[in-house]
Structure 1
């Protein structure tokens, strides 16, 4: 794919007209609920490069992390109990009410395809996973950053999936890459859709979006709440700590399960990613019965040891008495499995 194609599409006139109806669209960009520092300045770049270099040998596993091959016979939907598979970073296959939902399907091997230096995935041959997936009923995109929205993955998935639910502003990228917009539903914060008996709500997070130097905050970012007659699940999306976790918990909780961001944090962007201790607090705020950490185990996007997120997450959970579950890559899990200890990362350097 060409470098130009990676950026997606520029903002269109019809996008701007649509965005004007959003309460968070002001001065030609979307805004967080609270004032938010978006990241580090150029003045911090030397320090970040130094931090990255000083721990370069421990930011990634020494060997590729294995992903268990998909077992379709274990993923049948006869019992309609929720199941999920985590493929590292934020890629989730969720089965709910008998429907298969794929969230942030970034199966590519590089999280920075526009950069001169590759951000290599911790696992090998992940694009091949797409060929093994069951029939996907819907794809959800939380926001348009490269580690969540991957051109090559999308190109491969477009012929396979009819329904796409995405953050406001993401449709223009998908359309440019070949997806007919009649298959796309864009969502603003708090928008709700009924998908085959699953009520899906797009919820706020404290983050940002954009794929280039000139489109920052010209698409939205957030998470998802899933509600059925029997279960409620929350996916936090990317973003730092704020009052929205409590608000979401008050509106839709308690949650049987919460997938919470945990990883790629750094002192120079403390408001746009959760530190592991904040991930636990977010779960407490949201009234989550069980927390599952995501946004780790896939890419090194910040200067910390690749195991640091999960080690701190586990420790903080013990201190707060919060139930957690730490799935290994590619395995199929149900709510019945969530009490099983699974410190799989201890077997990898």
Structure 2
């Protein structure tokens, strides 16, 4: 079985001391790991087919799922709309809200679904099955194509790509770029598929999505090769010092945004599940503080709220409070 590796050494082995501390944290719990009241989300409904002249829009749905309308194309990224990021419907962390701000039924047609890697909180079986007949193309990192074929997605609909692969997609330029993470959906398939970040580039708009990633030199490399970016959607959540090589701390999220030469930052990978030992609001509180310290424009839309990429002002209300 082919195994993929990160660009730089990335340890994911945890010693006895770390495992013991995790067991203790699991027993004692973390304050405010879930919201104590219902979260207000915006109800999403896909509009008519966007025109090539329409201003590009991005809609975040919680965690890392988001929708991009750019130059007449409709792209859905990491559509995890299930209730649990788990191989079992009855076990694992539950979504904060019973339902996402969107579900597959809200989409009539998609030009492409783009995936960053195969973990359950990014690649959801039920969501893919329900969306496959509405989607013209699936664009995925190496190895993930075979997973989709097993789920019934026609192989001719799927293209898979390695790091630094550039592809032209109906007038857009997409680039599969590196991330510092790992992959696998079972006990024996770790790193058998690739993980990545993505560049989405149109004639007048460039967007960067970090995927899941620890901090590393790849961000500056991407910034040099493809920046600056009008908007970045950067991982911010599910971190811990014990696995800091594969998930950024919020302060690193801001630095990564600066490294890729981003203009406006939207923190993602939070807001739907807590998969680590921190409060559910810790990611957004820390990243907004770090953004302010570095004079970075940060936008914190509510889940389901669409924003214009080239707007004069961006939603920044602390709705989680």
TM class, shorter-chain normalised? over 0.9
Q: Cα distance, 1:58 vs. partner?
A: 1.1
Q: What residue ranges of structure 2 are gaps of 5+ in the alignment?
A: none
Contact 2:44 2:102 in 1 (8 A): no
**1:118-150 alpha-carbon deviations (Å, 9 max, x no partner):** 210122223962111242110011000000001
**1:143-175 alpha-carbon deviations (Å, 9 max, x no partner):** 000000011111111121120000100011111
Look up the SS of the partner of 1:46 in the other structure. helix
Counterpart among 156, 163, 167 of residue 182 in structure 1 = 156
CA–CA distance in structure 1, aligned partners of residues 143 and 109 of structure 2: 26
**Structure 1 pair 74/171, CA: closer, same or farther in 2 (3 Å)?**
closer
Counterpart among 123, 133, 147 of residue 107 in structure 2 = 133
Q: Does 1:329 align with 2:303?
A: yes
Q: Does 1:205 align with 2:179?
A: yes
Look up the SS of the partner of 1:185 in the other structure. strand
Q: Cα distance, 1:334 vs. partner?
A: 0.6
Q: Does 1:45 align with 2:19?
A: yes
Counterpart among 220, 227, 234 of residue 208 in structure 2 = 234
CA–CA distance in structure 1, aligned partners of residues 78 and 296 of structure 2: 26
Q: What residue ranges of structure 1 are gaps of 5+ in the alignment?
A: 1-10, 12-27
Q: Which moved more, 1:99-108 or 1:51-60?
A: 51-60
Of Structure 1 and Structure 2, the greater helix share is in: 1
Contact 1:223 1:236 in 2 (8 A): yes
Contact 2:142 2:162 in 1 (8 A): yes
Partner of residue 158, structure 1: 132
Contact 2:163 2:178 in 1 (8 A): yes
Partner of residue 16, structure 1: none
**Structure 1 pair 60/74, CA: closer, same or farther in 2 (3 Å)?**
farther
What TM-score, normalized by structure 1, do the two folds share?
Answer: 0.87
Q: Cα distance, 1:81 vs. partner?
A: 1.6
Count of aligned pairs: 321
Let me know the Cα RMSD of the aligned residues.
Answer: 2.0
Look up the SS of the partner of 2:95 in the other structure. coil
CA–CA distance in structure 1, aligned partners of residues 308 and 71 of structure 2: 13
**Structure 1 pair 39/161, CA: closer, same or farther in 2 (3 Å)?**
farther
Counterpart among 38, 43, 61 of residue 69 in structure 1 = 43
CA–CA distance in structure 2, aligned partners of residues 295 and 331 of structure 1: 16
